[in-house]
Structure 1
Amino acid sequence: MEGNGGSEEDDTKLSSNTKVAFITETTVQIIICILAWYIFSLSISLYNKWMFDKSQLDFPFPILVTAFHQLLLSILSFAAVTLKPSLKPTAATENRQGVTFYLTHVLPCSLAAAGDIGAGNVSFRYITLSTYTMVKSSSIAFVLLFGVIAKLEKFSINLLGIVLLMSVGVMLMADTDKPDEESDNGDQSTFMLGFFLVLLSACMSGVRWVFTQLLLLKNHDSKVALDGSKKVKNPIYTIYQLSPPMAVVLFIVGSGVEGLGKFLSDDIWAEKGVFKSICLLLFPGLLVFFMTIFEFAILQRAQVVTLSIAGIFKELLTIVASTFIFDDRLTFINLIGLSITLLDIVWYNVHRYNEKKHELERQKSLERDVEFELENV
């Protein structure tokens, strides 16, 4: 008896002295993945701005360049799926995906994604990177709006408030300084064109999100765990499905709007050489692929809210970097609009977290009720 009592006492002491480590291996992995995500995402924004801005490299073919980015993504995702077949959905799921599925899920998603990325890259020729980043953050409002329409989101007063507050932030971010005669970005009409393009990009991002969610649900039999566990859907196969039609659509539109002949006869091919020019055109596609991988890696190890909060700091980091690198200027009204937008994003994340928490609690309650009923059978 005494021996057993001593053993229980020792176990109690051991339990009380056991501490949960603040820095775990998973925490370190999350930090590394977030830093890598920042690096690739920021590099893409800075690189595209440098390539398309009239005051920088001034390569006037953003749509065609984006088409080649998608072509590279198609090649990389095809290689990934071929080397690792486990990235594909189950055979039963693939068998259900015929022509109707392609026309109702893959093609609409590809068109929305092409509009999102294409319009965003074209806007770099007319507005600053800071303005692009601020206005593009309004995509959350469009995500919620189209999510409610597609019945992927439940309408609530919180959602309405988030959308309305985001609208106010976007309007304030449209404020500009007096036109600067030495800069095209200072011209009001030019700015409004760029502003409209990035707002269109944010809108198409909302449409793209809806179709992507539907596509992921069709590609995978299991849903994402509400507690942020590792049951996260792999985006590589989705890239594999979407990139080829995106490349084709962007190539056709770019050839008609920008001119394939002008693209092939541009001075860049002679000035920098064919090989170097091709590398310059395709390099951002490589950055996008690795950014997606690290984004997925974060979701594997942390909750979706972690990625969303990290995204807020990424937006701020992009604005700070563009201020130092491209000498972007923000008006006082812009800063107010930015602050409102960031607060709105925080509100959105809190709302999303509470929703997932309540849903998880509801599921656990249902499981307890089922267990209780089975025990009393």
Structure 2
Amino acid sequence: MCLFFRWLAPIGICASLDIGLSNWALEYVTVSLYTMAKSSSILFIVAFSLLLRLERWRTSLGVEAAFIASGLFLFTWQSSQLDFTGLLLVELAASCTGIRWTVSQLVMQRDEHAVRNPLDMVAHVQPWMFIPIIPLVVFFEGPQLSYETVFYYKGVEAPFQVLLLACIGGLLAFCMELSEYLLLVNTSGITLNIFGIVKEITTLLLAHMINKDKLTYMNSMGLVLCFTGMLIHAFTRRRQSNEKERKRTHLPKKADDSTHMLLEAEDMDA
């Protein structure tokens, strides 16, 4: 019960606020500015990971975060319209992202309160997502909700079309969340966020190709910086994995319990 309220509740509430604040911010800012500002989420994840001792500070960690954040900033340079309210909402959403994934990593990887099954995480987190969303729906959309607006359709097939679209969207969201937790239990929140950046870059590239937007030299430099940061992260993770495997290989068969505990602690920090 302590796990449910102390750790899982913040995950669900922050996930809900992340989605709600992000959608709200898009009323004030363009997609490019949203992507640029939301890129700061990796900095929040790094900060909270260090605070919760999920990561140990190393130079490569700061370098890869700086490369990726700077790259996304340049990738969307001069393609946005600044609005302070929208920017504030995006940064609040980014901070919620940082809390959400670092606490999720803590819950799924720490032995004393591990929930390693992604389906269990989804089942425990989803109920908490209703708590902050319902007041926002009532406050912003309550006056517009009525019997006519909710249940009135122009054609007989319209309700089935809406239901089909809702089911497809819900299925995609469920699969995405399941894959995110599956990735998180085996890696870290930082790695998960970096894979998410690939999605953001793909979205912006498609926008450039479909909408015929020009990709400037500055945007290209930003793309290079992003991939450089990702390569640094991949190389660092690979090196850490090889070092841990080497330690296990050279570990004597009758190693004492303290040595095993030390290796487990290093796994948690990596």
SS at match of 1:366: coil
Q: CA deviation at 1:149?
A: 0.7
Letter of the 1:323 counterpart = H
Give yes or no for contact 1:170–1:341 (8 Å, CA) kept in 2: yes
- Structure-1-length-normalised TM-score: 0.54
* 2:43 corresponding residue in structure 1: 141
1:133 Cα offset (Å): 4.4
What's the counterpart of residue 235 of structure 2?
Answer: 350
Residue 106 (structure 1) aligns with: 8
Alignment match, 1:213: 105
Q: Which residue of 1 aligns with 2:144?
A: 262
Q: Which residue of 2 aligns with 1:200?
A: 92
Q: Match for 2:101: what amino acid?
A: W
Supply the distance in 2 between the matched residues of 1:328 and 1:122 (Cα, whole angstroms): 25
Question: Contact (CA 8 Å) 1:176, 1:331: kept in 2 or not?
Answer: no
Q: For residue 52 of structure 2, what is the aligned residue in structure 1?
A: 150
Letter of the 2:224 counterpart: S
Aligned-residue offset at 1:241 = 0.6
1:262-308 superposed Cα distances (whole Å, 9 cap, x missing partner):
144659954574443344445322111123445677899x9889988
Deviations 1:113-170 (A, max 9, x none): 1122222233344444455445544433322211001111001122222333344335
Matching residue of 2:67: 165
The change in CA–CA distance for 1:105 and 1:312 in structure 2 (over 3 A counts) is closer
Aligned counterpart, 1:188: 82
Between the aligned partners of 1:105 and 1:235, the Cα distance in structure 2 is 15
Residues 202-222 of structure 1 show CA distances to partners (whole Å, capped at 9, x for unaligned) of 332111111111222468887
Give yes or no for contact 1:162–1:347 (8 Å, CA) kept in 2: yes
CA contact (8 A) 1:132 1:195 kept: yes
Give the aligned residue type for 2:133: L
Paired position in structure 2 for 1:121: 23
Residue from 218, 235, 246 that aligns with 1:333 = 218
Deviations along 1:25-72, whole A, 9 cap, x unmatched? xxxxxxxxxxxxxxxxxxxxxxxxxxxxxxxxxxxxxxxxxxxxxxxx
Query: SS of 2:255's equivalent?
Result: helix
Q: Which residue of 1 aligns with 2:118?
A: 235
Query: C-alpha distance in 2, partners of 1:209/1:121?
Result: 19
Within the candidate set 108, 113, 134, 1:251 is matched to: 134
Q: Distance in 2 between matches of 1:112 and 1:215?
A: 15
SS in 1 for 2:55: coil
Distance 1:309 1:207 in 2: 16
TM-score (normalizing by structure 2): 0.72
SS of the residue corresponding to residue 117 of structure 2 reads: coil
The counterpart of 1:318, out of the listed 203, 211, 215, is 203
The answer on 1:364 being equivalent to 2:249 is yes
Task: Give the fraction of aligned pairs with identical amino acids, expressed as a percent.
Answer: 25
Distance 1:130 1:360, change over 3 A: farther
Cα distance per residue 1:242-274 (max 9 Å; x no partner): 111102321222322x12231446599545744
Q: Distance in 2 between matches of 1:187 and 1:311?
A: 24
Contact 1:142 1:206 in 2 (8 A): yes
What CA RMSD, in Å, does the superposition of the two structures yield over aligned residues?
3.9
Whether 1:277 and 2:162 are equivalent positions in the alignment is yes
Compared CA separation, residues 312 and 176, structure 1 to 2 (3 A) = closer
Higher Rg of the two aligned structures: 1
Residue 71 of structure 1 is matched in structure 2 by none
The amino acid that maps onto 1:213 is: Q
Q: Distance in 2 between matches of 1:212 and 1:147?
A: 11
Aligned residues: 252
**In 2, are the aligned partners of 1:143 and 1:207 still within 8 Å (CA)?**
yes
Contact 1:312–1:342 (CA under 8 A) maintained in structure 2 = no
